[in-house]
Amino acid sequence: MSVAQAPRILLLGKDGQVGWELQRALAPLGELVALGRAGGTEPATGAPLVGDLADLEGLAATVQVVRPAAIVNAAAYTAVDQAEREPELAERINADAVDVLAQAAARCGAWLVHYSTDYVFDGSGQRPWREDDPVAPLSVYGRSKRAGEEAVRASGCRHLILRTQWVYGVRGGNFARTMLRLAREREVLRVVDDQWGAPTGADLIADVTACALRQALAGGVHAAALSGTYHLAAAGTTTWCGYARYLIEQARQIAPHAGWCVHTIEAIPTAAYPTPARRPANGRLDTTRLQTAFGMHLPPWQHGVARWVAMVCSDAWAGWPNPA
């Protein structure tokens, strides 16, 4: 395929954990126009493009100018506890801006790839959640993400809503990085052991997104039928405590002399770790639908976590343990 015929893909949120990996994974699919908060320029004409999701008018205009075959939205308000204090901003970025993108996608016939979260569920029961199970978010963040999902479906655009969870990446802050820092500062860590989910790598999310979007962009009857909501998480499940223990054990093996202080990782109930936002106890996601629809297998969560630890603990990784 020549560059001129390659579909245009508009990526928003290019500098986040998932957005960063998407720059790499989406590049082979077409002509990628990748925007962060600061925006950019249209490759052919140099026209200014808006990447700030708080600028709703600018965002709609940007889609019109780029006329992409697909929009991939990796930008979001993801500070779960902080969202309890600024619900309007969370709603604007996670719902209003998504509404604008979805309507713009519908108008120009583009696919919209959008990410959502296990935090749309109330966490009841033990069974892994399926895509059509009822949602009942416990937090401002969760409610704003639910509203974003609803806007995408209501717009009528062809879409992939990919609900994921517990994301870690080499770029940006996450629970894994917090744990590795604390393990070098404290002798005892206390971590909740009654919230369940699967740590999922930003690289895995990006690779799966590229594979799914390629099939969607291929066109035809099969492609149109792919539009819908999918759960995307690594295989297996653990608790935040199980995750912390695995991470730190891996890190100690790879970098035994990195100054570890921790000798105890104590399993605690959620009630012993109060936070502004409530989080679901059962965040397990059933990924059967994704695996069947797109013909792929998802690896055990430990594989990606071990690779991430090897990456961030390597001496070559200049920013260890907290990159710029």
Ligand X SMILES: Cc1cn([C@H]2C[C@H](O)[C@@H](COP(=O)(O)OP(=O)(O)O[C@H]3O[C@@H](C)C(=O)[C@@H](O)[C@H]3O)O2)c(=O)[nH]c1=O
Ligand Y SMILES: NC(=O)C1=CN([C@@H]2O[C@H](COP(=O)(O)OP(=O)(O)OC[C@H]3O[C@@H](n4cnc5c(N)ncnc54)[C@H](OP(=O)(O)O)[C@@H]3O)[C@@H](O)[C@H]2O)C=CC1
Single out the catalytic residue among 77, 115, 141, 243.
141
- In a 3-state reduction of DSSP, which class is residue 309? helix
| Helix (H/G/I), strand (E/B), else coil: 190 | strand
Rg of the chain over all Cα atoms, to the nearest angstrom: 20
- Minimum Å gap between C-beta 73 and ligand Y is 7
Name which of residues 269 to 308 contact ligand Y (CB under 6 A): none
CA dihedral 297, 137, 237, 310 (to 10 degrees): 80
Residue 115 is among the residues annotated as catalytic for this protein:
no
One residue of 166, 230, 301, 308 binding ligand X per CB under 6 A: 166
Distance in Å, CB of 288 to ligand Y, minimum: 19
> Does 76 interact with ligand Y (rule: CB under 6 A)?
yes
Query: At 38, which amino acid appears?
Result: A
Choose the binding region for ligand Y from 72-80, 211-219, 276-284, 292-300 (rule: CB under 6 A): 72-80
Which listed range, 82-90, 147-155, 190-198, 284-292, lies at the site for ligand X (CB under 6 A)? 190-198
Selection from ligand Y, ligand X, Mg ion, none that 301 binds (CB < 5 to 8 A by kind) is none
Give the length of the chain: 324
Residue 49 or 232: the one with the smaller Cβ distance to ligand X is 232
The CA distance from 309 to 313, in Å, is 6
Question: Distances from the Cα of 49 to the Cαs of 7, 43, 151, in angstroms?
Answer: 18, 10, 23
Stretch that binds Mg ion, among 16-24, 73-81, 270-278, 315-323 (CB under 5 A): 73-81
Which backbone phi and psi does 159 adopt, to 5 degrees? -150, 160
Q: Closest distance between Mg ion and the C-beta of residue 238, in Å? A: 17
Residues labelled as active-site residues: 141
